[in-house]
Amino acid sequence: MGSESDNEGMIIDPGASAKQILSTVKELGLNIRLIVLTHGHMDHIGAVKGVKQATGAEVAIHTDDAKFLRRLSLSTIYNFSFPSTPDRLLGDGDSIDVGDLHFTVLHTPGHSPGGICLLGHGVLFSGDTLFNYGIGRTDFPGGSHSQLMNNIYTRLMVLPDDTVVYPGHGPDTTIGTERRGNPFLRS
Ligand SMILES: [Zn+2]
Ligand SMILES: [Zn+2]
């Protein structure tokens, strides 16, 4: 995602191929300043190192999920390595400012202890907390269904109906669409 005035950009959850991400960055002509991780699961952080090395961007993750980076950096199962420490530890209410992009960190644990959503410009990046007609799994270590539901109700369902939601997986949606039709939420 980039800001139009100065071509500064940030990347949320570089999970897939660093090469592909970097070619998109190049196409858009962005200077990537920050890599924000909505949580520490493998499918969201797989390309962190490659993207960081190529762009020099800082890596930010919530304090409670920083351990995932450390653990993966020590692991020999994966033949690509990870930066062991993030450059920036995030907490609830923190501001993320890159160029003219301004987002607020919402700590929404449940899928993962350090799971966050990013809110700004009428848009919510919901990580693996909320999906289009779905919610995050809570059967991973540190997961909690009641915590996840509580966060969805008290942090996300209080947002305006027209807030556009970009989840970590699947199609984008809006808060209103989920409020009305998400089968996991009581009406
Ligand atoms: Zn996940
Ligand atoms: Zn995921």
41 C-alpha to ligand 1 centroid (Å): 5
Q: From the CA of 109, which ligand is nearest?
A: 1
6 C-alpha to ligand 1 centroid (Å): 32
101 C-alpha to ligand 1 centroid (Å): 25
3 C-alpha to ligand 2 centroid (Å): 25
Do the Cβ atoms of 64 and 109 come closer than 8 Å?
Answer: yes
Q: From the CA of 111, which ligand is nearest?
A: 1
Q: What is the mean pLDDT of residues 111-133?
A: 98
* Distance in angstroms (rounded) separating the CA atoms of residues 46 and 52: 11
84 C-alpha to ligand 2 centroid (Å): 20
Mean pLDDT of the chain: 92
**Predicted pLDDT of residue 49:** 86
**Predicted pLDDT of residue 73:** 65
pLDDT tens digits, one per residue of 4-31 = 778 999 999 999 889 999 999 999 999 9
Strands across the sheet with 8-12, in order? 8-12, 31-37, 58-62, 88-90
**Predicted pLDDT of residue 5:** 72
Q: From the CA of 131, which ligand is nearest?
A: 2
Instruction: Band the pLDDT of 69: cuts 50, 70, 90.
Output: confident
* Distance in angstroms (rounded) separating the CA atoms of residues 84 and 61: 12
pTM: 0.93
pLDDT tens digits, one per residue of 40-63 = 998 999 899 889 999 999 999 999
* Distance in angstroms (rounded) separating the CA atoms of residues 121 and 44: 23
171 C-alpha to ligand 2 centroid (Å): 13
Q: How many residues does the chain have?
A: 187
92 C-alpha to ligand 2 centroid (Å): 20
Percent of the chain with pLDDT over 90: 80
pLDDT tens digits, one per residue of 127-163 = 999 999 999 999 999 999 999 999 999 999 999 999 9
Instruction: Band the pLDDT of 77: cuts 50, 70, 90.
Output: low
**Predicted pLDDT of residue 173:** 98
Ion ligand 2 nearby residues (CB, 5 A): 43, 128, 168
